[in-house]
Structure 1
Amino acid sequence: MVEDFNQIKKDFEFTDEDVENIVKLKPIFEQYIDDFVEKFYRFVFRFPQASQFLKNEEILKYHKEKIRNWFLNLFSGKYDLDYFLKLRKIGETHVKIGLPTHYVNASINFVRRYIIEIIDREVEDRQERNRYVASIGKLLDINLDIMTIAYREQELSKYAEMTTMEKKIFAFAKKFSDVIDLFILIALVIVALSVFFLFGYDLYKLTFNLVGLEEGILSVLGSLLILWAVGELMSEEIRHLRGGRFAINIFIGIALAAIIRKLFIASLGTDSEKKAIDLLSYSAVILSLGIVFWLISKRESS
């Protein structure tokens, strides 16, 4: 609880000497506040989903003012209960809007690097620089700890509300899900090997003139397209096993690759009527999958 803020400061060995060191930095960083805000948002907008949280100029202006105040308060020297409660409120707001903890951690890391850079530039004495860096580092660690309390409590509250049976089912389901993910990855390896052999077989037929030149080239290109799509799916599954979010549009991409290969082959047919029907059918499927792929990609990007 943030009400135990004195204990939190003890745990981080944040002393009165650290407060004095940080207050001495206040005149320096007041001069750099505009530079900090500019570079901070330049950094933040590198995040893929930044525009999802900073949707318009009004929200951005409000957020900039809050960041400016938070940064200046780092050097205020007043680290009492009110200061800790404000940090807690920031964390709760992050949870409420669904901001990933990764963004919070990365942002604090940027702030730390920025402050160290300015201290190195403005403070000549090496020992004095080391003291300032150590003190502000403790305070930033405290900030991060308090801001992420809301995330931890949200996870714990959901788990605490479960009955004993629900917790057992949850634990089993999680382990079973890990097994399924591993099985899918193994299956993808097998599929990739099969497609690799298909590509080799198409290349063999083309090399030894077992098929026409045009048909052989289109078959090789189609197999190569499917191999690329399966490779992308394997990469996504590995990313998912490491804790990332799975991209469903990869499945649509594989289906597109398979249908495009069918379209290549159908375009070489000799029966004009059947060829026309096949081309129209495959084209309709490709169009439908393309629309679905576009809608999913648009939703993920927004």
Structure 2
Amino acid sequence: MSLTAILPGRLGFGTAPLGNMFRAIPEEEVQATLEAAWDQGIRYYDTAPFYGAGLAEARLGTLLSAKPRDSYVLSTKVGRVILDEVESGDRELGEKGGLFEHGRPNRMLDEWTAEATERSINDSLKRLGVDRLDIVWVHDIAQDFHGDLWLQKFEEARTGAFRVLARLRDEGVIKAWGLGVNRTEPIELTLALDEPRPDGFLLAGRYTLLDHEHALQRLLPIAQEQNVSMVVGGPYSSGVLAGGSHFEYQQAPPEIVERVEKIKALADRYGISIKAAALQFSLAHPVAAAAIPGATRPSRIAEDVAALNETIPAEFWTELRALGLVSPAAPLPGGA
């Protein structure tokens, strides 16, 4: 089933920050943020066992388990099995070292076999307190976590997780499956397979105002041709496009800060928010079905809803392109 037929709107909620990404977030702040998202009409929620070693799923479950199951769409991911035992020392997370150092200390197994996939889904259902999932993404089988071993991980997923999820979809247990990654290459490989066929993909950080050229050249034309939709993760590039200081989960380098300042100066001149420009750009591609910014403060949800609905003059987009701040090939809102 296509993602556009499943998703209830163009704006969802990404729960990675609720796994204590970057900082330890008080429980009351988390629940106030989730309640704000619900009150603002958000009905698509994405999570993963990886986010704080199950912490984000458990926190999201506090909200969703009390809501009618047919009133929202829920996605989570497979690839990490959370164990009861505590892990000592630093986790090995490739380029993302220290990302969830404030999360739960439980040991995580990276495994995409059929058995691990089914176990992961069952564990997620328990943490979330729900009886079913709508979408399941195969998580992080890419270079940023596994370096030169990523193709080995991909093959494990192809013969394990892919087949399990395709079967569950065909049986009607889930509505859709795909990949949830921070790189385009695993999705390109998947779309080149004869089977199994994904319904969509969650691409984080690779279709934003700051980073979109590669996806435009390599991935999105294939996805459009195959009628496979994209959920845009990280539309604010880890926060730097929304007033934060992180890019790619690290402190933003000077060249990125400079680029953001140029975009913001143009946005200020047109009296619009850079957040609105970032969100609406990510959703302008025909393949984009929804975007899922994350938040840890209730006020951010209202900002996201306002950013989605803000009117941006066509002249802003025309000038953004003329200044070389966006690819000539990128579809722009309103056909600018």
Alignment TM-score, normalising by the size of structure 1: 0.22
Higher share in helix = 1
TM-score (norm 2): 0.20
- Structure showing greater radius of gyration is 1
Give 1 or 2: higher strand fraction: 2
Quick one: higher RCO (CA 8 Å, sep 6+), 1 or 2? 2
